[in-house]
Structure 1
Amino acid sequence: METTLAWDHNRPFIQELSVGNEHIDALGHTNNAIYVGWCGDIAWAHTSALGLGINCYRQLNRAMAMQHAEYDYLAPALLGDKLLLGTWVLNSDGKLYSERGFQLVRVSDGKTLFRGKVRFVCIEMSSGRPKRMPNAFIEGYGNAAVYKAG
Structure 2
Amino acid sequence: MNWDLPSPFVIDVQVLPQHIDGLGHANNAVYVQWLEQAAWAHSQALGLSVQTYQQLDRGMAVVRHELDYLASAYCDEALQVATWLVDCDRKLRSFRRFQIRRVSDGATLLRGRTTFACVELSSGKPKRMPPEFVAAYGQLTTEA
Please give the TM-score of this superposition, normalised by the length of structure 2: 0.95
Is 1:93 the counterpart of 2:89? The answer is yes
2:135 matched residue in structure 1 = 139
Give distance in 1, aligned partners of 2:138 and 2:21: 38
1:78 is aligned to: 74
Residue 27 (structure 1) aligned to one of 12, 23, 26: 23
Residue number in structure 1 paired with 2:33: 37
Aligned partner of residue 22 in structure 1, secondary structure: helix
Task: Report the counterpart of residue 120 of structure 2 in structure 1.
Answer: 124
Of 2, 5, 8, the match for 1:12: 8
CA drift of 1:80 comes to 2.1
RMSD: 1.3
1:113-146 superposed Cα distances (whole Å, 9 cap, x missing partner): 0111110001111111111111111110012211
> May I ask how many residue pairs the two structures share in their alignment?
144
Structure 1 CA distance for aligned equivalents of residues 53 and 15 of structure 2: 31
CA apart distance, 1:84: 0.7
Equivalent-residue separation in structure 1 for 2:122 and 2:80 (angstroms): 35
Distance 1:24 1:58 in 2: 34
Once the two structures are aligned, what percentage of the paired residues are identical? 49
Residues in 2 aligned to 1:81 and 1:126: alpha-carbon distance in whole angstroms: 40
**Residue of 37, 46, 52 corresponding to 2:48:** 52
Aligned to 1:69: 65
- What is the deviation of 1:12? 0.9
Deviations 1:91-133 (A, max 9, x none): 1010100001110001111110011111000111111111111
Report the equivalent of 1:105.
101
Which amino acid in 1 is paired with 2:133?
A: F
What SS does the aligned partner of 2:116 have? strand
Give, in whole Å, the separation in 2 of the partners of 1:46 and 1:31: 23
**Cα deviation, residue 6, structure 1:** 2.0
Distance 2:16 2:54 in 1: 34
Distance (Å, rounded) in 1 between the aligned partners of 2:4 and 2:80: 13
Q: Within 2, Cα distance between the matches of 1:137 and 1:43?
A: 14
Q: State the alpha-carbon separation in 1 of the partners of residues 36 and 61 from structure 2.
A: 11
1:9, distance to aligned residue in structure 2 (A) = 1.0
